Amino acid sequence: MDTRFTTMFGLELPLAGFSRSPGVVAEVSAAGGLGVLAATPYVPDELDRHLTWIAERCDGAPFGVDLLVPPGPMTGVASGPLPVTHVDFVRELLAEHGIASPGLGQLGHGATTTTSLSADGVEALLDVTFAHRPALVANALGPAPARLIERAHAEDVPVAALIGSSTHARRQLDLGVDVLVAQGTEAGGHTGSIATMVLTPEIVDLAGDVPVLAAGGIADGRQLAASLALGAAGAWCGSVWLASEEDITPTTVKRRLLRAGSGDTVRSTARTGKPARQLRSAWHDAWESADAPPVLPMNQQLLLSKDAWALIEAAAEEGRDVDELTSFFVGQVVGRMTEIRPTRQIVHDMVAGCVEAIGGLGGRR
Amino acid sequence: MDTRFTTMFGLELPLAGFSRSPGVVAEVSAAGGLGVLAATPYVPDELDRHLTWIAERCDGAPFGVDLLVPPGPMTGVASGPLPVTHVDFVRELLAEHGIASPGLGQLGHGATTTTSLSADGVEALLDVTFAHRPALVANALGPAPARLIERAHAEDVPVAALIGSSTHARRQLDLGVDVLVAQGTEAGGHTGSIATMVLTPEIVDLAGDVPVLAAGGIADGRQLAASLALGAAGAWCGSVWLASEEDITPTTVKRRLLRAGSGDTVRSTARTGKPARQLRSAWHDAWESADAPPVLPMNQQLLLSKDAWALIEAAAEEGRDVDELTSFFVGQVVGRMTEIRPTRQIVHDMVAGCVEAIGGLGGRR
């Protein structure tokens, strides 16, 4: 399957696998796709260790790194205590589910968040990233800033940008990005409102020679074939790896993912301050209720959530029943997750299904 | 292009064209697809006249009729005046845009709405429909009720049901429907939350031998090819015809559709009382504002909107600038509507694009 994307990166498969799990990234790359590690969950030392391990496992196969670089001039992370009303609201919510939360809002679980959102933190992640000679750097949220693109191009590293609309795509093309990832509303994590089926051909038509990957709603071979039919040069998959053996998501969360249906996600600002698709839980219901305080700006809501989630996951690990609160960033494809497979198997199943779907076109169905 | 859908209805093309415009329905059927007329905008006499005209134009080619049959026992339409708070709210909103609305809520513009939602009205539409020997009857909203399916099968007419989730699909299969239309969230009109890319293969996998049409986000050949790659036996298209010469939507509305982007729709309850995708306008912003009264149940909100829209469209026809209020039910594909084409041309372009997209799979892109 040769596309402009596979040619650009010397890949066997038109498939990028985005994950925070080093094992997933290494396996996708080793299988002939392009594994892309989410850097922002990590502090620089961790990132360095993970990229070293991935490079060894890949044995020369290309891999990428996804960052989250703020678009504007760095103004630092909002510091100081979180608003009392919000901390109290979360404390009550947790208490309703049997979780005590003394010290909420000052738990210090925001270390990696602070790293990825502060000026010095991002520069340190970039230094580590480029030292490992990735095949690609990507920007996960909002426009890839000019200085990221300049630095990457100075080091001969192509840049991918995730976009959810034509307006964003045009801006990125003007800035000189090398790959566009057209991410539909069905995707997990931060995402826009336009569906992959509509967004992909729209972006392909304005991207000219720049390869476009389709993202959102792609977890099986038919969906990969559909992406190619829409004119994409490949697919960018994130959620599907959550049901892999190599994924590091806690078992308690994975169990909930395996039970969820495709209608059980919500695109909500309640976890990070910006619209992100995730498994709907009592957390989202509470923030949508009439007596909820307004969601905070990104940095603050993220810090508040991060503290809360550390407590929720700790309670789950202790075997307490906090299923109603449990959530994770995941796309609508969660409905098809019914078993945990090795990453390599997921890739193989997807490719075999894609070949079969393409072969079946023109035949009876 | 043979699929289970084309074989079932003796079609040349795996394409159903749903429209309230008789000219669109006749042209889609004459071009080798299956035109499906929305019956609910009409009183029985009008429906009878339109179906007679369509049958003559089609010259024996099959066509379908889409009804909106309430699922439960008929309880009649809520009668009596609409709540004063709601009428006043709409009156103020219209006044802000220079539209006076004496008599709002009692304008009598609800005649066809009343027909399609009352027991006698629906039975009368069914009588007219079956008298014209349609190739298919479809149910647009909610589960097709058992009595519709029984009557259709007694008259040897296959039944299609539009569904937005696995739960709905299973219920319809149990009731014995003959075609499932898996409608994604990007579709215009009443629709669910799951995207076409995710919903289609999910429904295909549980439908067994029952053909599944993909709906939502399908307006060009690549999207038709993608639907087939997802395992669908064809596509069900509605929005794309709004930009056809044969469509009866007022020119003032069509002008706004041609200018809109794919991000300019909203899935809102503010027009019918149930979530329906439509062009976002000042109407939707107002109903989302903090001082808006709660949206009414379906029948009442529909009657209120219908009166308001009669006034908005009348003002537009008079050449007054009410663009900010203008709206219509349309999917996210509205972003690709840039010109008005004959229906026949739209069909031909879609099929040619589909053939090209399928031919290009496996090649470089």
Q: Tens of pLDDT along B152-199? A: 999 999 999 999 999 999 999 999 999 999 999 999 999 999 999 999
ipTM of this model? 0.94
Residues A134 and A55 sit within 8 Å (Cβ to Cβ): no
The 10s digit of each residue's pLDDT in A202-238 is: 999 999 999 999 999 999 999 999 999 999 999 999 9
Which residues in A lie closer than 8 A to residue B2 (C-beta atoms)? 363-364
**How does DSSP classify residue A335?**
G
Cα separation, B85 vs A142, in Å, equals 41
CATH number of B4-76+118-248+338-360: 3.20.20.70
State the average pLDDT over residues B54-61: 94
What does the pLDDT read at residue B68?
77
Nearest to B364 among A3, A193, A263 (CB): A3
Q: How confident is the model at residue B80 (pLDDT cuts 50, 70, 90)?
A: low
* DSSP 8-state symbol, A329: B
- Residue A154: partners with Cβ closer than 8 Å, 6 or more residues away: none
- How high does pLDDT run on average in chain B? 91
| Lowest model confidence (mean pLDDT) among A264-268, B22-26, B310-314, B360-364 | B360-364
Share of chain B above pLDDT 90, in %: 78
- Please answer yes or no on whether A198 and B186 come within 8 Å at the CB atom: yes
Q: Which is more confidently placed, B221 or A113?
A: B221
Can you read off the two tokens belonging to residue A237?
């998959």
Residue A316 has pLDDT above 80, yes or no: yes
pLDDT at B74 over 90: no
Domain boundaries, chain B: 4-76+118-248+338-360
What residues contact residue B86 under an 8 Å CB cut-off, 6+ apart? B293, B296, B300, B304
What is the SS3 assignment for B202? helix
Mean pLDDT confidence for A313-331: 92
Mean predicted lDDT score pLDDT of chain A: 91
Q: How far apart are CA B13 and CA B347, in angstroms?
A: 9
Q: Which residues contact B204 (CB under 8 A, 6 or more apart)?
A: B182, B212, B230, B231, B232
Residue with tokens 């630092």: A76
Instruction: Count Cβ atoms below 10 Å from residue A120 Cβ, excluding itself.
Output: 11
- pLDDT value of position B117: 61
pLDDT score at B303: 87
Q: Which residue from A minimizes the CA distance to B356?
A: A229
**Using only C-alpha atoms, what is the Rg of chain B?**
20
- The model's pLDDT over A74-130, given as tens digits with 9 standing for 90+, comes to 444 455 678 999 999 999 999 999 999 887 877 654 455 556 667 777 888 999 999
Task: Write down the pLDDT at residue B292.
Answer: 94
What is the predicted pLDDT for the residue at A76?
43
Nearest C-alpha in A relative to B337: A202
CA distance B259 to chain A (A): 14
**Hey, what CATH class is A4-76+118-248+344-360 in?**
alpha beta
Q: Do A233 and B365 touch (CB under 8 A)?
A: yes
Residue B365 pLDDT greater than 50, yes or no: no
pLDDT in tens, A1-28: 799 999 999 999 999 999 999 999 999 9
Structure tokens given for A311: 């407590």
> Over 80: is that where the pLDDT of B107 sits?
no
Cβ–Cβ gap A230/B218 under 8 Å = no
Edge-first strand order for the sheet with B265-268 is B189-190, B276-279, B265-268
pLDDT at A365: 47
- Per the CB < 8 Å rule, is B201 touching A223? yes
Query: Residue A346 pLDDT > 80, yes or no?
Result: yes
Q: What is the pLDDT of residue A75?
A: 45
What local confidence, expressed as pLDDT, does residue A315 receive? 93
DSSP state at residue A34: E
Residues A202, B365: C-beta atoms closer than 8 Å = no
Residue B69, pLDDT > 50, answer yes
CB under 8 Å to B45, separation ≥6 — which residues? none
Query: Mutate which of A197, A240, A262 to disrupt the B interface (most B C-beta within 10 Å)?
Result: A197
pLDDT at B78: 53
Write out the H or E segment, with its range, that includes residue B64.
strand B63-67
Residues in chain A with CB shorter than 8 Å from the CB of B361 are 225, 228-229, 358, 361
Residue type (1 letter), A348: H
pLDDT at B229 over 90: yes
